[in-house]
Amino acid sequence: MTALDDEVRVIDAGRPPARFARGWHCLGLADAFKDGRPHEIEAFGTRLVVFQGRDDGALHVLNAYCPHMGGNLAQGTVKGDAVACPFHDWRWAGDGRCAGVPYARRVPPRARTRAWTALERNRQLFVWNDPEGNPPPPGVTIPELPGIHGPGAAEWSDWTWKTLRVEGSHCREIVDNVVDMAHFYYVHYAFPEYFKNVFDGHVATQYMESSPRGDMELGTLSAGRLRSDASYHGPSYMIDHLHSDVGGGLEMEIVLINCHYPIDENSFLLQYGAIVKRLPGMTDEQAADAARLTAEGATVGFEQDVEIWRNKTRIDNPLLTEEDGPVYQLRRWYEQFYVDAADVKDEMTRRFEFEVDTRRANEAWHAEVAENLARRAAGPAEAS
Amino acid sequence: MRPVECAACGNQVLCEKFSPAHTSVQWTAEAAVSCAEFRDRAGGGGGTTARLRTCRALRSSIDRAVADGTLEVDDVRTDA
């Protein structure tokens, strides 16, 4: 008995890191913050306020709590280019400077709150998080999407955007998906026929070619063969360029964003959205519909991801097969965002490539789907 | 992992193959600097090569290493 017990694999759950990842984090669609009111964001273990300056038109991100007496600026109002605290009307400018205290003879000399470095791009708002307080290094940025900023942007639909709050899980769970070939069959209902990862610097890419399972429905994403070329640009913002075979020799071009920001060390806000390039003959409305259907198809997958995370344990020592993809190497890459910049090791950032042999897995899965379809054809009562 | 040298530029990487279709490549120097093909395609200046799927010259060198037996494939080894 003891001999057997010695061989039992013991899960090391580890602990979520005490700090939040260094990098750009998308807070949502920029337009959502442009209604003239301050908005509260629960992120990085604290609360932030996002507001648009009335005169400069720019989006600003500050700590939500007023350094005066701790009032919540997100409950306040925008006055000029400043946000005013609901407690005593202290005014805070977008750069963090106190812009005035209406009842006081003078503003305290060191009246400054934390202004977060913000970036508006792809019609989204980003903030830079760095526990060391440094600005983003050159080369570490959010790429501009040609479908938004390029000369052909008029051919693309607007964003369909969705959010999902995930409690009780560290955001490493969703980043793990980058290398998790097999979960695309079980959780996202596709046959991943080609699967390759490349990591280098602050970018991690997943190349995948898949076809729909046939026994499941996922809207646009299950229409036909799918080519997906998806990269995390830093710890939390993934751009997925999708080409979906819609029949008749036509491919629909889709950009799917999959991003998140940490709420605290054990919960995060997952956000995702899609834009679609109009096919020849497609109206704006049809393109918007296609984007909506894509996002809704993704919703099914993400909700199932969340259901798995809600019930699983954190695991630092996963037990892997050759078909599982490079989980440890991905986590080594991800680690670079959780250490001081000076402690980033070459091994975390050097190029690493891993192409999974998907043949055996797909043989097994095709047999399973054929069985499911046969059972379903035999009678609805037996469907499982 | 076994060292494989690229016949085109002499850059050395570490490789492992679980099967003929599987390939794992660990680069030991900065890819955008050490690889001639990536240097051109990544536009110089270092940066990330994570958006470049493969270096064609290195890929042929790996295939050649498999063909001449300097890089063993796990499947072949265990089946033998």
Which residues in chain B have their CB less than 8 angstroms from residue A143's CB?
none
As a whole number of angstroms, the distance between CA A207 and CA A175 comes to 15
Whether residue A126 has pLDDT greater than 60: yes
- Mean pLDDT throughout A260-274? 96
β-sheet with A39-43: strand ranges across: A39-43, A46-52, A59-63, A115-116
Q: Pick from A356, A245, A201: which is nearest to B17 by CA? A: A356
Asked whether the predicted pLDDT for residue A185 surpasses 90, the reply is: yes
Cα-based torsion angle of the residue sequence A144, A150, A153, A155 in order, rounded to the nearest 10 degrees: -120
More confident residue, A88 or A248: A88
What is the distance in angstroms between the CA of the first residue and the CA of the last residue of chain A? Answer: 38
**H or E segment and range at residue A147:** helix A146-149
Which amino acid is present at A113? T
- Closest C-alpha to A338, from A232, A202, A189: A202
In this predicted structure, what is the pLDDT of residue B79?
Answer: 46
Residue A216, pLDDT score: 81
- Judged by CB atoms closer than 8 Å, whether chains meet at A198 and B50 is answered as yes
Query: Chain B within 8 Å of A357 (Cβ-Cβ)?
Result: yes
Specify the DSSP element, H or E, that contains A51. strand A46-52
A313/A12 Cα distance (integer angstroms): 10
pLDDT at A139 over 60: yes
The predicted structure's pLDDT at residue A218: 65
Q: How confident is the model at residue B45 (pLDDT cuts 50, 70, 90)?
A: low
Residue-wise pLDDT for A313-359, tens only, equals: 999 999 999 999 999 999 999 999 999 999 999 999 999 999 999 99
Contact B53 A196 (CB under 8 A): yes
What pLDDT score was predicted for residue A220?
57
Residue A363's CB: how many other CB atoms inside 10 A?
Answer: 10
Q: How far apart are CA A85 and CA A62, in angstroms?
A: 12
Written as one string, the DSSP assignment of B60-78 is HHHHHHHHTTSS-BHHHHH
Asked if the domains A23-129 and A160-372 are classified in one and the same CATH topology, the answer is: no
Which of A139, A231, A352 lies at the smallest CB-CB distance from B51?
A231
* Minimal C-alpha gap between A330 and chain B (Å): 12
The residue-averaged pLDDT of A73-97 equals: 98
| Complete edge-to-edge strand list for the sheet that includes strand A77-79 | A77-79, A82-84, A91-93, A98-100
Q: Do A356 and B50 touch (CB under 8 A)?
A: no
What CATH number should be reported for the domain whose range is A23-129?
2.102.10.10
Interface membership of B67 toward A (CB under 8 Å): no
Q: Cβ separation of A207 and B53 shorter than 8 Å?
A: yes
Half-sphere exposure of A6 (CA within 13 A, CB side): 3
- Tell me, yes or no, if B61 comes closer than 8 A to chain A by beta carbon: no
Q: Per DSSP, what are the bridge partners of residue A239? A: A231, A257
How long a stretch of residues is chain A?
384
| CA atoms within 13 Å, Cβ hemisphere of A70 | 1
Beta strands A237-247 and A267-276 are unpaired
Which of A28, A85, A95, A33 shows the shortest CA–CA distance to A59? A33
Q: Is A250 exposed, middle or buried (0-12, 13-18, 19+ CB in 10 A)?
A: exposed
Average pLDDT over residues A166-184: 97
Task: Tell me which of A175-184, A235-244, A366-375, B39-48 is least confident.
Answer: B39-48
Lookup result for tokens 């995702």: A272
**Residue A222, CB half-sphere, CA atoms under 13 Å: how many?**
19
User: pTM for this structure?
Assistant: 0.94
Largest distance between two CA atoms of chain A: 84
Nearest 5°: the CA angle A302, A206, A244 is: 70
pLDDT for the residue numbered A219: 62
User: What stretches of A236-320 show up as alpha helix (H) in DSSP?
Assistant: 284-311
Greater model confidence, A51 or A298: A51
Distance CA A368, CA A384 (A): 13
Residue contact B23–A202, C-beta within 8 A: no
Return the CATH number of the domain spanning residue range A160-372: 3.90.380.10
Sign of CA dihedral A250, A251, A254, A258: positive
pLDDT in tens, A274-316: 999 999 888 989 888 888 888 888 888 888 899 999 999 999 9
Give percent above pLDDT 90 in chain A.
83
Cα(A310)–Cα(A169) distance, rounded to whole angstroms? 7
CA A305 to chain centre: 13
- Say whether pLDDT at B41 is over 90: no
Does the pLDDT at position B77 exceed 70?
no
Cα B14 from Cα B39, distance rounded (Å): 19
Cα–Cα distance, A159 to A272 (Å, whole number):
10
Can you give A149-180 as a three-state secondary structure string? HCCCHHHECCCEEEEEEEECCCCHHHHHCCCC
Residue ranges covered by each domain of chain A:
23-129, 160-372
Dist CA A133 CA A135 (whole Å)? 7
A353 at the B interface (CB within 8 A)? yes
Residue in chain B closest to A323 (alpha carbons) equals B22
Q: State which amino acid sits at residue A332.
A: R
Amino acid at A159: W
Q: What is the pLDDT of residue B80?
A: 40
* Mean of the per-residue pLDDT values of chain A: 93
Rounded to a whole number, what is the distance in Å from the CA of A163 to chain B's nearest CA?
Answer: 27
What's the pLDDT band for B47 if we cut at 50, 70, 90? Answer: confident
Of B24, B31, B51, the CB nearest to A354: B24
